[in-house]
Amino acid sequence: MAVPYNGTTGSADAGYSSMASNLNVFYDTGHMVWITVSAALVLLMIPGVGFFYSGLARRKSALQLVLLSMLSVSTVGFQWFFWGYSLTFSRTGNAFIGDLTQFGLIKTIAQPNGSSVLPDILFCLYQGMFASITPALAIGAVADRGRMLPALVFIFVWSTLVYDPIAYWTWNANGWLFKLPSYDFAGGGPVHIASGSCALAYSLMLGKRTGYSNSGGLPYRPHSVTNVVLGTVFLWVGWFGFNGGSALGMNLRAVMACYSTNLAASCAGLTWVLLDYRLERKWSTIGFCSGAISGLVAITPAAGFVPPWAAVIIGICGAVSCNFATKIKFLLGVDDALDIFAVHGIGGIVGNILTGVFGVSSIAALDGSAYPAIGWADGHWVQLGNQLAGICAAFGWSFAMTCAILFLMNLVPGLSLRVSPDEEDVGIDDAQLGEFAYDYVELTRHVADANASLSDRHLSSTSGSASEKVVSLGATAP
């Protein structure tokens, strides 16, 4: 059994004030192992996002989305160390944002934070993965038309001005949503609603892809269903750490969260498949993957508050809502290429609402703590209003700030958001990366004009849309 922490509390502290020679005596290794593994599982989700988005995108822009997901880890990894963790989880601060008492992770070692069973540095590691995956979810909005450099600058700025405040409101004991309280177990607001509304705003500010309106607003077909399945597997497995680790310890609440997560995803995947089957009498792999992700999103804010039977309802409701929400982009006239808002934004909203309906204190108390009545299932009727406050705050702040950040960035020389028409036609991978997801794309498109200029390649690619019609490895561009 660990020794109760006896050092300074309530202010940033390196953990040495207890004068203990061995700081490990304050922590149970079982809890630390589970959260460390959970952090690794959330990290696994980030390339999963990249593969999922890449498979849904066009072949000539597939690699950019994988690269951006990994660059999100690096960019936010530095931002989280620099000031993100302090702004989000400092022990002092006002109702809106933290301070810089732990700037550069000073005094961030062994004092408990987030939970009495977690040292500061481990809590920082785990929460840093949440901070990294959130912009990775949103940045898929650049598909087929967004430049790389502005996307990276945006990730850093957005994490500071949008993710950190929303996460502070929700999870820091000083945050106004935490005190309300608006319950959010693992990130329905800070992660999913914020990233979904960010993607909607980014798509709006970028404008539609060339030719989008001429094709009746119909999306391009996914170029690799296999990549979509691979990304879904990574995400599904990683979500056990995403939701299970949010119990902040190895306890029955963590186990229940893992079970509810898997159950909701299963029910949602089946629901989406059946919804698509009713239209075309086809069993859609993309539909199953999209449904599973929508169920995972919807259960995220509720996983540590609801019993398993509620997870079934949440999974089904999440899939139905997200499925029909894919039509919103046509109503709004916004080219959300990968339906990020429909799945993450709407899924997060549905999950937050149903947390206020089905949340019960008996499930939350499985971590050994005492909780007041939570949702309607406990007879706490006002909670739904609190949940709606959290939804409106996360959506409104993320959407408005994203538009403002992108508008200002687009005015800065060198940070224009969108590639040129020539580059868009050739493909982002060629124009911005100089590399390709598949070797044969380069071989078949440019084997005859490898030294040609971008404009020449533009003419070659537009002739017969060769990049989309290649059928054999040995063929050359017409």
Tens of pLDDT, residue by residue over 353-375, are 999 999 999 999 999 999 999 99
* Cis peptide bond prior to 421, omega within 30° of 0: no
Predicted pLDDT of residue 442: 53
List the chain residues with pLDDT less than 70: 1, 214-219, 440-478
Contact 316, 268 (CB under 8 A): yes
Predicted pLDDT of residue 215: 59
Show Cβ contacts of residue 400 under 8 Å, excluding neighbours closer than 6 positions. none
User: By three-state DSSP, how is residue 250 classified?
Assistant: coil
Q: How many residues does the chain have?
A: 478
Domains along the chain with CATH numbers:
29-433 (1.10.3430.10)
Beta bridge partners of 119: 112
Predicted pLDDT of residue 453: 46
User: Which secondary-structure segment (H or E) carries 344?
Assistant: none
Q: How far lies 345's CA from each of 13, 21, 57, 251, 422, in Å?
A: 37, 48, 19, 30, 32
Helix %, strand %, coil % of the chain (to 5)? 65, 5, 30
Place of tokens 């000539």: 60
CA separation for the pair 103, 88 (Å, rounded):
11
Q: Which of 280, 283, 340, 288 is nearest to 315 (CA)?
A: 288
CA separation for the pair 61, 424 (Å, rounded):
9
Counting beta carbons within 10 angstroms of the beta carbon of residue 382, is it exposed (0 to 12), middle (13 to 18) or buried (19 or more)? exposed
CA separation for the pair 215, 207 (Å, rounded):
15
Predicted TM-score (pTM) of the model is: 0.90
**What single-letter amino acid sits at 454?**
L
